[in-house]
C-alpha cells in the first residue's frame, strides 16, 4: 500500500510539474507577443503625434 501511494504521489507531482512548466512557457510567449504589439502601437502613436505636430507648425 505504501509503495502504491508513493508511486501515485510521484506521478501526480510529475504531472503537476510538467503542466506548470508548460504553462510558464506559454505565458512567457504570450507576454513577449503582447510586449511587441504594445511597442509597435507606441511607435505608431509617437510617429502619428510627431507628424500632426509638424503639420501644426507649418
**Distance between CA atoms of 56 and 25, rounded to whole angstroms?**
47
User: What's the domain count of the chain?
Assistant: 1
Reported as a single tens digit per residue, the pLDDT across 40-56 is: 999 998 888 878 887 77
Cell of 24: 510558464
- Does residue 14 lie within any of the structural domains? yes
- Does residue 20 lie within any of the structural domains? yes
Compute the C-alpha angle 11/13/5, nearest 5°: 55
Reported as a single tens digit per residue, the pLDDT across 7-52 is: 999 999 999 999 999 999 999 999 999 999 999 999 998 888 878 8
- Does residue 54 lie within any of the structural domains? no
| Model pLDDT, residue 15 | 96
- Does residue 17 lie within any of the structural domains? yes
- Does residue 12 lie within any of the structural domains? yes
Structural domain range at position 6: 1-25
- Does residue 41 lie within any of the structural domains? no
Q: Is residue 3's pLDDT more than 90?
A: yes
Could you identify the residue written with the cell 505504501? 2
| Model pLDDT, residue 49 | 80
Q: Rounded to two decimals, what is the model's pTM? A: 0.60
**Distance between CA atoms of 9 and 16, rounded to whole angstroms?**
10
Amino acid at each position: 500500500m505504501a509503495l502504491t501511494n508513493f508511486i501515485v504521489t510521484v506521478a501526480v507531482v510529475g504531472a503537476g510539474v510538467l503542466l506548470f512548466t508548460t504553462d510558464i512557457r506559454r505565458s512567457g510567449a504570450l507576454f513577449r507577443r503582447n510586449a511587441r504589439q504594445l511597442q509597435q502601437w507606441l511607435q505608431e502613436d509617437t510617429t502619428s503625434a510627431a507628424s500632426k505636430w509638424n503639420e501644426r507648425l507649418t
